[in-house]
Amino acid sequence: MIDYKFRAWDNHKIIHNVFPTQNSREVRDYNNGEEILIKVESIMQFTGLEDKNGKEIYYNSDIIKFKLYNEEFIGVFNFNNEEMRAEIDIYNKDEYVCLWYDCINMKEFEVIGNKFENSELLKGE
């Protein structure tokens, strides 16, 4: 069973334990009970998956590092709503690449940051 957890970026920091309201433009902060206005793009949902160190992976924000065919990749873990599948947008190569990755192998992943606080990790090498 997936544990439904959300977090949000408020342009300064990650706020944990939030939940989107019906209009999806606000989130309720369960840390102190107030509702705050957050951009929809800044709301992140827990995938139900953990990386190789037991760290939770969140959609559309977490930057992950992994090896595939002895080559290291860095990308953002996303969910494609149209095709209903997990994807990884790769940023550390000469061109933008999107990979579909079998969720069974997620234990090879390592969360190294998120795109809001660590955007420098997404710059090509």
In one-letter notation, the amino acid at residue 11 is N
66 pLDDT tier (thresholds 50, 70, 90)? confident
The boundaries of the domain holding residue 94 are 6-115
Q: In angstroms, how far is the first alpha carbon of the chain from the final one?
A: 38
pLDDT in tens, 83-106: 766 777 787 666 556 666 555 456
Q: In this structure, is residue 122 part of a structural domain?
A: no
Flag whether pLDDT at 27 surpasses 80: no
Whether the predicted pLDDT of 26 surpasses 70: no
The answer, as to whether pTM is greater than 0.85, is no
Q: What is the dihedral of CA 2, 55, 121, 14, to 10 degrees?
A: 70
Q: How would residue 111 be classed by pLDDT, with cut points 50, 70 and 90?
A: very high
Number of domains in the chain: 1
Examine residue 124 and state whether it is found in any structural domain, yes or no. Answer: no
